[in-house]
Chain A
């Protein structure tokens, strides 16, 4: 039996490559100075979905919510083998916390009526791991968090192995289901050269509109029509298309607010330099014994 899989993915700043320039004076992050990447564990989720499709047949749709630039990870999804991709972009999504984000995403997922929803365990910018379970709750479906492996799928049920920190569990549940996938689940494939050539010109409407602002000779409607004929127009949804209740979106739908942001500067109260000689080290050990740190 074939499965309709939906993958939720996020474009994130590459927090691993944070440098001095990426931090503003006031301690906030200058997102513009950081490269934007496909959230790593979302790639593991996509890989799991593609493997389901290869083994059982079906379809993989990738949804992302974000700024127009997030269309880039949708193109990358197409290069890797996704059948369909959707960008949710709407100014009214801004300032959404995990609760509001999960509401908006759940509206989109519901429209696609999937058997399996997959997302990465967590995004590297927020590290909350909350959106997956919150989408599952809103859809009223079971969740399997920290999924490491799908053991079997038989039309109605899924059996999977999940990590529980200091061990693992094998669990079975009915479809539809939401899985959050960890980085040890698989090795995400690299983009396929043929698909890259085919989809590199895929665009969504808002990207064409931005191009038209630079170059007024571009006829947005005409370009979109051409792309659509070639199967290269990326679907773009806003909150109206989703039928979302604005009360649960953006700032209004977000109970958590930021009170303060500080950059991390850690310094010791007093530092002693100790020469790498036997006498100096003996003196240090003596000091630590006297103040009852050791012994």
Chain B
């Protein structure tokens, strides 16, 4: 158990696969930078792997003051037991006050294991992080500068803010795509702190026999414009309307879970609580009712156009432009208007 240490650094787990950094690690650095500045402590990335030192340059450019670098042949592939062991050692040694992980399959496999070993708190799948104070009403005791860990719960129907004040580090996994990607600063350089670690083959509890990673067919997170279709589009054939509208705007086609379940489009395109979280400049919601689980993934869009024939559709409550009408008429009108104007 690690005692409260107000001088502790802010740490970000730098997730990499085969020498490539995950986008979430970079998103976390931008948030981590804000938190560290507010707390006036250094921001560090923790990088585990085999021969991954070249990544330190990017971690520095994206905001890390320091990189704790743990290189070992046995860290070549991610594994719960070996990665958890090394993180546990490093956290004990340096006592950071905050530790952030991406809510990726790796982050959500690793962080609970580390939290359990450290007997530390862990909040899953946060959508926002802030620094704030907490007062215990019964005693009036006030804690300043805590990490406020903000996350949807109860199927997205409530937003809970979680804190921990009596044990360190304050740990959270953070949903992919909810923090903006920062611009790299070529002049910034991180100090590299090499960590000597000893690992034995017995520290690996698992053998990875085979692995298959498909590159994502669509990168919704990087799209400025997203055209999403819902169950209201009606069929896979009719979904061509969505592809066409996306195409003429240079945007990406997306969908609700209902549309994916109906087989209109691939799961990679799903936006929402159990899909991708997106923050495009423009989100066009076509035949989408706007269930809370769908809103969870797209309400951060800068502008939202909703096309729906039901005036009561919840999507209209968050839309900037509402078009009450039949999508089969409205979408072709939009395509025509765009072709003429752009």
Q: Which residues of A contact B (CB under 8 A)?
A: 13, 15-16, 18, 22-23, 27-29, 97-99, 102, 124-134, 136-138, 142-146, 159, 163-174, 248, 254-264, 266-278, 281-282, 284-286, 288-289, 293-295
User: When A and B form their complex, which 4 residue pairs have the shortest distance between CB atoms, in order from nearest?
Assistant: A276-B325, A15-B155, A255-B121, A142-B205
* Cβ of B125 to closest chain A Cβ, rounded Å: 6
B225 close to A (CB within 8 Å): yes
List the B side residues contacting A277 at CB < 8 Å.
333
Query: Most chain-B Cβ atoms within 10 A of its Cβ — which of A131, A134, A144?
Result: A134
Inter-chain contact A172/B209, CB cutoff 8 Å: yes
| Cross-interface CB contact of A172 among B104, B206, B322, B340, cutoff 8 Å | B206
**Is A289 a contact of B342 with CB atoms below 8 Å?**
yes
Q: Are A289 and B207 in contact (CB under 8 A)?
A: no
Complex Cα distance A248/B116, Å?
Answer: 11
Which residues in B have some Cβ–Cβ distance to A below 8 Å?
80-81, 84, 104-106, 108-109, 111-113, 115-117, 119-125, 132, 134, 148-149, 152-167, 205-216, 225, 249, 268, 281-282, 292, 295, 299, 302-305, 316-326, 329-330, 333-334, 336-338, 340-342
Across the interface, do B158 and A261 meet the contact criterion of CB distance under 8 Å? yes
Q: Please determine whether B281 and A293 come into contact, CB atoms closer than 8 angstroms.
A: yes
* Secondary structure call for the B interface: mixed
Chain A residue contacts of B119, Cβ below 8 A: 99, 248, 255
| Choice from B157, B205, B212, B333 contacting A23 with Cβ under 8 Å | B157
Taking the closest CB of chain B, its distance from the CB of A45, in whole angstroms, is 17
Specify the chain A residue showing the minimal Cβ separation from B215. A166
Residues in B with CB closer than 8 Å to A257 are 162-165
- Least CB distance from A77 to B in Å reads 24
Bound complex: CA A89 to CA B198 (Å):
43
B162 adjacent to A258 (CB under 8 Å):
yes
B323 CB contacts on chain A under 8 angstroms? 273-276, 281
Q: Please, which residues of chain A bring their CB within 8 A of the CB of B215?
A: 166
Q: Is A130 touching B122 in the complex (CB atoms < 8 A)?
A: yes
The interface residues of chain A lying within 8 Å CB-to-CB of B105 are 145-146, 163-165
A-B residue pairs in contact (CB < 8 Å), sample of 8: A16-B155, A29-B154, A99-B121, A145-B80, A259-B134, A260-B161, A263-B159, A276-B326
Give, as a whole number of angstroms, the nearest-CB distance from A170 to chain B: 4
In the complex, the chain B residue whose C-beta lies closest to that of A256 is B121
What A residues does B161 contact at CB under 8 A? Answer: 258-262
Residues of A within 8 A of B210 (CB): 169-170
Q: Quick one: closest A residue to B167, CB to CB?
A: A255
Chain A minimum-CB-distance residue to B163: A259
Known pairs A167-B212, A255-B166; A145 contacts B109 (CB<8 A)? yes
- Give Cα distance in the complex from A146 to B80, angstroms: 13
Cα A98 to Cα B108 with chains together (Å): 13
Residue of A29, A143, A268, A278 near B304 (CB, 8 A) is: A268
Indicate if the CB atoms of B325 and A98 lie closer than 8 Å: no
Question: With A99-B119, A166-B216, A288-B303 in contact, is A134–B113 under 8 Å at CB?
Answer: yes
Please state if A256 and B163 are interface contacts (CB–CB under 8 Å): yes
Contact indicator A137/B117 (Cβ below 8 Å): yes
Q: In the complex, are the beta carbons of A15 and B319 less than 8 A apart?
A: no
Contact across chains for A102 and B299 when beta carbons are under 8 A apart: no
Distance between Cα atoms of A170 and B303 in the complex (Å): 42
| B330 neighbours in A (Cβ, 8 Å) | 276, 281
Q: Determine how close the nearest CB of chain B comes to the CB of A268; give it in whole angstroms.
A: 5
Chain B residues with Cβ below 8 Å from A126 are: 124, 153
Distance (whole angstroms) from the CB of B81 to the closest CB of chain A: 7
Residue of B nearest to A146 (CB): B105
CA distance A142 to B113 in the complex (A): 10
Q: A143-B80, A282-B340 are in contact. Are A99 and B116 (CB under 8 A)?
A: yes
Known interface pairs A133-B116, A167-B213, A259-B148. Does A99 touch B122 (Cβ–Cβ under 8 Å)? yes
User: What residues of chain B lie closer than 8 Å to A169, measured between beta carbons?
Assistant: 208, 210-212
Q: Are A133 and B318 in contact, CB atoms less than 8 angstroms apart?
A: no
A262 with B153: in contact, given A142-B205, A169-B210, A255-B119 (CB under 8 Å)? no
With both beta carbons as reference points, the residue of chain A lying nearest to B338 in the complex is identified as A285
The chain B residue with its CB closest to the CB of A291 is B303
Interchain CA distance A258-B159 in the complex, whole Å: 11
A282 to B335, CA, bound (A): 10
For the complex, what is the distance from the CA of A167 to the CA of B210, rounded to whole Å? Answer: 11
Q: Which residue of B lies closest to A171 (CB)?
A: B206
Cα separation A2 to B110 with both chains bound (whole Å): 31
A293 adjacent to B148 (CB under 8 Å): no
Please give me the residue from chain A that is nearest to B164 by CB atom.
A255
Given contacts A125-B154, A284-B337, A293-B282, 13 further A-B contacts (CB under 8 A): A16-B155, A130-B115, A134-B112, A137-B117, A167-B213, A168-B212, A171-B209, A256-B149, A259-B134, A262-B160, A268-B317, A276-B330, A284-B305
Contacts of B111 in A (CB 8 A): 130
* Bound Cα distance from A278 to B334, whole angstroms: 8
Complex-state Cα separation, A218 to B82, whole angstroms: 56
In the bound complex, residues from chain B placing their C-beta under 8 Å from that of A130 are: 108, 111-112, 115, 122, 124
> In the complex, which residue of chain A has the Cβ closest to the Cβ of B320?
A268
- With a cutoff of 8 Å between Cβ atoms, the chain A residues found around residue B120 in the complex are 99, 255
What residue in chain A is nearest B280 (Cβ atoms)? A293
> What are the residues of chain B within 8 A of A270 when measuring CB–CB?
320
Closest to A15 in B: B155
Which residues of A have CB within 8 Å of B164? Answer: 255-257
Give complex CA distance A98, B163 in Å: 14
